[in-house]
Structure 1
Amino acid sequence: MATFFGEVVSVYSRAVEEDEEDFDENEEDEQIRRELEEKREVHLQWSPEVEELLRSGSKRLQCSDFILAVGHNAARFLSVYVLNSANWDAVGHASLWNERTQAVGGQTSEESACVFYRNKDNTSVLICQVTCYIAEDQLFQWTEKVFGCLQQRGLNVMVLSDSPVAEYKTPDYISSSSVPFLRSLQTSASSSQALCPSLEQPNMVTGLPAAVLSHCQVHHIPTIAYQCYSDVITPDSITMETYKPALTRLGKSIQLEPFPSADVLRKFVKASDIQSNLYI
């Protein structure tokens, strides 16, 4: 090969070595991707009794009502008004890892953040409380694994979720006296009458509630979601009580504690952290 200055230099081809280097890099990237996928996998752990039921018969739990609470107020509402009785057993939990769960206390998984409970008298009623963050790439996996354990025939799903009122879009003024409030969204297979107005456009349901609604819409599972818009970010007794009418529709399937004691409320309702207040 001639250069601009007239000398002739030999041509050295690195095609083979470059191909080998690219192959090594691709193989290394693939290994990293596989390890990351394994690390971000959602794991379901069930009690021995439930594990035995899942291994036998149809390999699915008979479930007539599945109540999913997403967010601190929704989860604490169930703790105060439903799960505080002795009629419920913790039968499993989901564990997962992502960047946000790692940032909270440095723990890779938090068992208490996603727990399943089953009614002792009516074992077809299942409750799940979720207070941990589930990343976008884990939502489909969580939904597929959980609903893969449930018998879909005759299944009804109810989702309770928290949302800040600042994200609620409306042309009208929202007075402080009207907060908190509920909005509903349901699948086409649901025939029940919602107890509150439907969620208006352009408002959306996001995260795990959206993933569950999408799954149930595709699989024709009757589902209704109640999203509570509140101006507080910590568990609050007024916000929790907003969910009460939703469960009264379930009748005998769920027994609500109409007047929880002050001790029970103090146990689950935490005061807002004011240590960061600049005026203190």
Structure 2
Amino acid sequence: MATFFGEVLSVFSRAVEDDEEELEESEEDEDILRELEEKRQVRVHWGPALELIPNTDHRLHCPHLLLTVGHNASRFVSVFFLSRGDWDAVGHVSLWNERTLQSEGSACVLYRHRDSHMLMCQVDCFVAEDQLFQWTEQVLSSLEPSQVTVLSDCPAAEYQSAQPLGTAPRLRSIHTSACSEPTCCPPVELPNLVSGLPAAVMSFCQLQNISAVVYQCYSDVRSADSTAMDTFRPAVEQLAHSLNLDLCPDQDVLRKVISQAAVQSNLYI
């Protein structure tokens, strides 16, 4: 560009600078998204006691997989099953999302019964929607279960029916077409749906022709409650019989669970 005095000045296009800035920002955004995607990956970590090779055709056979989703479901197996001392922690599922509070390795612990070799997994953390398929595929693809049983908590407010549930917890079930054993409670009535991780597990089992059943407890309690926990008892009576368990709660563990729930629900502590 020439001035009035004949001096030639260089001119830089602002559009070029904007394009360069947008390109740099785009690359930074892609790096951030890539790091976030990597951080949100779900991974199964097996302990040295199990010779399980991930990402191969070697799968761990187990006669039964018991999966608990929700606070009361997880506390139920702690009180009635894990308190017996016949279980070994053999692995865990690591995941991270915006709502995970537990440290890695403590949120989804895998236990194995010493005699029957059945597996149990307590899911004590939130699994985000974009992690549901990952979680299910990572865990179930590394196993070869003959039967899958899911115990799940669900708020009573989400239950839709012409007849109210009342104040007592209610148990409902849904199973895959490969499941031939009768369930201990009525099925989930329409228009109610099973969602979240139990639904993802059921979908996987249905596609893989695995016998699976979800027992969903509808309750209006938000913390560990002995009545809500006891609602799951009929769902695992046959399983407990196969393990030679009498399904009597460990009173010390039960008191500890209930006292912890009482402290957490007290706003003044």
TM-score range (shorter-chain normalised) is 0.7 to 0.9
> Partner residue of 2:180?
191
Asked if the contact 1:157/1:221 (under 8 Å) is kept, the reply is yes
> Partner residue of 1:7?
none
Query: What letter corresponds to residue 268 of structure 1 in structure 2?
Result: V
| Structure 1 residues 41 and 259, CA gap change in structure 2 (3 angstroms) | same
Alignment match of 1:223 (pick from 208, 212, 216): 212
> Partner residue of 1:65?
64
Query: What letter corresponds to residue 40 of structure 1 in structure 2?
Result: R
Structure-2 separation of matches of 1:75 and 1:214: 22
Q: Which runs of 5+ in 1 are unaligned?
A: 1-10
> Partner residue of 1:117?
111
SS at match of 1:151: strand
Deviation at 1:173, TM superposition (A): 3.0
Asked if the contact 2:155/2:218 (under 8 Å) is kept, the reply is yes
Query: What letter corresponds to residue 236 of structure 1 in structure 2?
Result: D
Number of residue pairs aligned between Structure 1 and Structure 2: 256
Structure-1 separation of matches of 2:196 and 2:47: 27
Residue 126 (structure 2) pairs with residue 133 (structure 1): yes
Deviation at 1:110, TM superposition (A): 4.0
Query: What letter corresponds to residue 254 of structure 2 in structure 1?
Result: L
Structure-1 separation of matches of 2:29 and 2:54: 37
> Partner residue of 2:6?
none
| Structure 1 residues 156 and 214, CA gap change in structure 2 (3 angstroms) | same
SS at match of 1:100: coil
Structure-2 separation of matches of 1:146 and 1:53: 12
Structure-2 separation of matches of 1:170 and 1:189: 28
Structure-2 separation of matches of 1:254 and 1:170: 37
Deviation at 1:140, TM superposition (A): 0.9
> Partner residue of 1:3?
none
Q: Which runs of 5+ in 2 are unaligned?
A: 1-10
Asked if the contact 1:247/1:254 (under 8 Å) is kept, the reply is no
Query: What letter corresponds to residue 118 of structure 1 in structure 2?
Result: R
SS at match of 1:35: helix
Among all aligned residue pairs of Structure 1 and Structure 2, give the percentage whose two residues are the same amino acid: 54
Structure-2 separation of matches of 1:156 and 1:35: 37
| Structure 1 residues 269 and 275, CA gap change in structure 2 (3 angstroms) | closer
Deviation at 1:86, TM superposition (A): 2.0
Deviation at 1:251, TM superposition (A): 5.8
Residue 123 (structure 2) pairs with residue 156 (structure 1): no
> Partner residue of 2:98?
99
Asked if the contact 1:66/1:158 (under 8 Å) is kept, the reply is yes
| Structure 1 residues 231 and 56, CA gap change in structure 2 (3 angstroms) | closer
Deviations 1:201-258 (A, max 9, x none): 1111111111111111122111100000112111111111111111113365434343
Asked if the contact 2:116/2:243 (under 8 Å) is kept, the reply is no
> Partner residue of 2:237?
248
SS at match of 2:190: coil
Deviations 1:90-143 (A, max 9, x none): 111112111111xx4xx6x342221100010122x1000011111111111111
Asked if the contact 1:187/1:213 (under 8 Å) is kept, the reply is yes
SS at match of 1:208: helix
Residue 202 (structure 2) pairs with residue 213 (structure 1): yes
Structure-2 separation of matches of 1:55 and 1:212: 19
Q: TM-score, normalization: structure 1?
A: 0.83
Deviation at 1:22, TM superposition (A): 4.7
Deviations 1:6-59 (A, max 9, x none): xxxxx9977766655554443332211110001111222211021x23369942
> Partner residue of 2:166?
175
Query: What letter corresponds to residue 232 of structure 1 in structure 2?
Result: V
Q: TM-score, normalization: structure 2?
A: 0.86
> Partner residue of 1:6?
none
> Partner residue of 1:238?
227
User: Cα RMSD over matched residues?
Assistant: 2.4
Asked if the contact 2:40/2:95 (under 8 Å) is kept, the reply is yes
| Structure 1 residues 185 and 23, CA gap change in structure 2 (3 angstroms) | same
> Partner residue of 1:8?
none
SS at match of 2:224: coil
> Partner residue of 1:4?
none
